Amino acid sequence: MFSNLFTPQAVEEALLILKTQIPLAIWETVYVTVLSTAFAIVLGLPLGVLLVVGEKNGVLPLPKGLMHALGVVINLLRSIPFLILMIMVFPLTRLIVGTTVGTVASIVPLVIAAFPFVARLVESSLREVNPNIIEAAQSMGATPLQIICKVMIPESIPSLISNATIAITTILGYSAMSGIIGGGGLGKIAINYGYYRYKFLVMLIAVILLILLVQIFQSVGTRIAVKSDKRLK
């Protein structure tokens, strides 16, 4: 498969695609990833908060049945393979976006797949908050909402940022898969040229660019997380 990777013809073709299609593909990948992550956080953050505060000994205990149902739904969504989930949510995608193909349409399954994951990440971040600090806030007469907004979330910011970085890199990987259902981006280029047309050099370039994007997201995220951590002297 790699024997005729660098024939003059292949290189020329790859350069052409690099010039004409890759810039747009990078942009599509970035915006689909960022937008999907943003929506996933909007849904996943409150859900993750509920998972922690709603427990029996939590700040705002919720009915046991509700907590159980939340857990089941999250686990259920997380256990469906993304490839299948993309197809299963077609009706919902059509309802929201009006179509099931294209870059924008791929955001819907990405969000559906990512928000339960984000909820679990938020849950693990919030569990790291020292319970004694929460008790101190209660002793000062803080309401449950004040404890969530002024204690639990601010105190776990470094961990939340680290986990947001994990989320965004994972969603970037998923977004490449959405090339299968006509979503745009580097994934589409890799699948269309590499898988369907045997243009392996183009596929290789797309993959390298994906790797670079993950590296950039990860190092920026790590840097912000470390900087936000005031526990370090």
Partner 1 sequence: MIELVHLHKTFETADGTVEALKDINLSIADGDIFGIIGMSGAGKSTLVRCINMLERPTSGNVIVGGEDMAAMSPAKLREKRRSITMIFQQFNLLMQRTCLKNVCFPMELEGVGKKEARKKAMELLSLVGLPDKAKSYPAQLSGGQQQRVAIARALATNPQVLLCDEATSALDPNTTHAILELIRDINQKLGITVVVITHQMSVVEDICNRVAILDEGRVVEQGNVKDVFANPQSAAAKKLVFPNGEETVLPPGKGETRLRVLFNGSNTADLPLIATMAAQHGVLAKILGASTRSLGAQAFGEMLISVPDADAEKALTFLRSAEGIVVEEV
The residues that touch partner 1, with contacts defined as CB under 8 A, are 130, 132-133, 135-143, 146, 150-151, 154-155, 157, 228, 230-233
Minimum gap (Å) between residue 160 Cβ and partner 1 = 11
CB closer to partner 1 out of 91 and 141: 141
CB closer to partner 1 out of 19 and 231: 231
Which tokens sit at 228?
Answer: 């936000």
Q: Bin 98: left if φ > 0, else alpha if -120 < ψ < 50, else beta.
A: left
Which tokens sit at 233?
Answer: 């002297």
Minimum gap (Å) between residue 121 Cβ and partner 1 = 19
CB closer to partner 1 out of 63 and 141: 141
Minimum gap (Å) between residue 43 Cβ and partner 1 = 25
Nearest to 164 by CA among 153, 176, 177: 153
CB closer to partner 1 out of 35 and 224: 224
Residue 109 DSSP SS3? helix
Minimum gap (Å) between residue 228 Cβ and partner 1 = 8
CB closer to partner 1 out of 19 and 230: 230
**Cβ of 226: how many Cβ atoms within 10 Å?**
12
Minimum gap (Å) between residue 152 Cβ and partner 1 = 11
CB closer to partner 1 out of 150 and 197: 150
Minimum gap (Å) between residue 143 Cβ and partner 1 = 7
Which tokens sit at 29?
Answer: 């990948």
Q: What contacts 181, CB < 8 A, 6 or more positions away? A: 86, 87, 100, 101, 105, 106, 109
CB closer to partner 1 out of 157 and 214: 157
Cα separations (Å) of 117 from 19, 79, 111, 151, 162?
A: 36, 10, 10, 23, 14
Cα separations (Å) of 136 from 131, 151, 159, 179?
A: 9, 10, 21, 50
Minimum gap (Å) between residue 45 Cβ and partner 1 = 17
At 43, the amino acid letter reads: L
